[in-house]
């Protein structure tokens, strides 16, 4: 079945005009940093990266996903320090090693950069650092229920 050209033209023109409009290509309203402990070889985090990209589009924000390429937590500490120096609008970070990361994360707090902990660490640790929240499940309970 052929659809008449004149019936398709108005909706197609509208979609094309919206794609070219300045609002469709507006600068992001906020710039975030998502820092994980995962090495580049950990494919599970690709799902997270895809979700970040989709959220960036949905909410007109920009998020940098950064991680230590080999999973070295000392390198992750430097990424958190860099995030504090770059004055992001907000930071999400995993807490793979609370004792090593708490100093760097405290720099976010001292610069009034809102942050959320995710995936690793605990709600108690997150609260101790002054995070807005912790996104994740209790690790003891997760392990207990997995066996």
Domain residues for the domain of 90 are 27-146
Structural domain includes residue 133: yes
Structural domain includes residue 18: no
Return d(Cα 146, Cα 135) in angstroms, integer.
19
Q: Can you read off the two tokens belonging to residue 130?
A: 């002054």
Structural domain includes residue 77: yes
Whole-structure pTM value: 0.78
CATH of the domain at 119: 3.40.50.2300
Structural domain includes residue 112: yes
Structural domain includes residue 108: yes
Q: So what's the pLDDT on residue 140?
A: 72
Structural domain includes residue 82: yes
CA atoms within 13 A on the CB side of 30: 12
Structural domain includes residue 13: no
Structural domain includes residue 2: no
Of 105, 112, 103, 85, the C-alpha closest to 35 is: 105
Q: Model confidence over 91-138: pLDDT tens digits?
A: 999 999 999 999 999 999 999 999 999 999 889 999 999 999 999 877
């Amino acid at each position: 079945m052929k659809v008449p050209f004149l019936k398709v033209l108005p909706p197609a023109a509208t979609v094309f005009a919206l794609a070219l409009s300045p609002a469709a290509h507006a600068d992001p309203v906020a710039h975030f940093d998502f820092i994980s402990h995962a090495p580049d070889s950990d494919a599970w985090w690709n799902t997270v990266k895809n979700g970040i990209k989709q959220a960036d589009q949905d909410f007109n924000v920009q998020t940098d996903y950064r991680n230590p390429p080999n999973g070295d937590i000392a390198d992750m500490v430097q990424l958190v320090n860099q995030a504090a120096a770059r004055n992001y609008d907000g930071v999400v970070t995993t807490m793979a090693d609370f004792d090593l990361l708490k100093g760097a994360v405290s720099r976010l707090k001292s610069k009034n950069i809102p942050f959320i902990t995710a995936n690793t660490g605990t709600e108690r640790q997150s609260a101790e650092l002054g995070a807005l929240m912790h996104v994740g499940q209790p690790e003891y309970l997760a392990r207990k229920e997995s066996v």
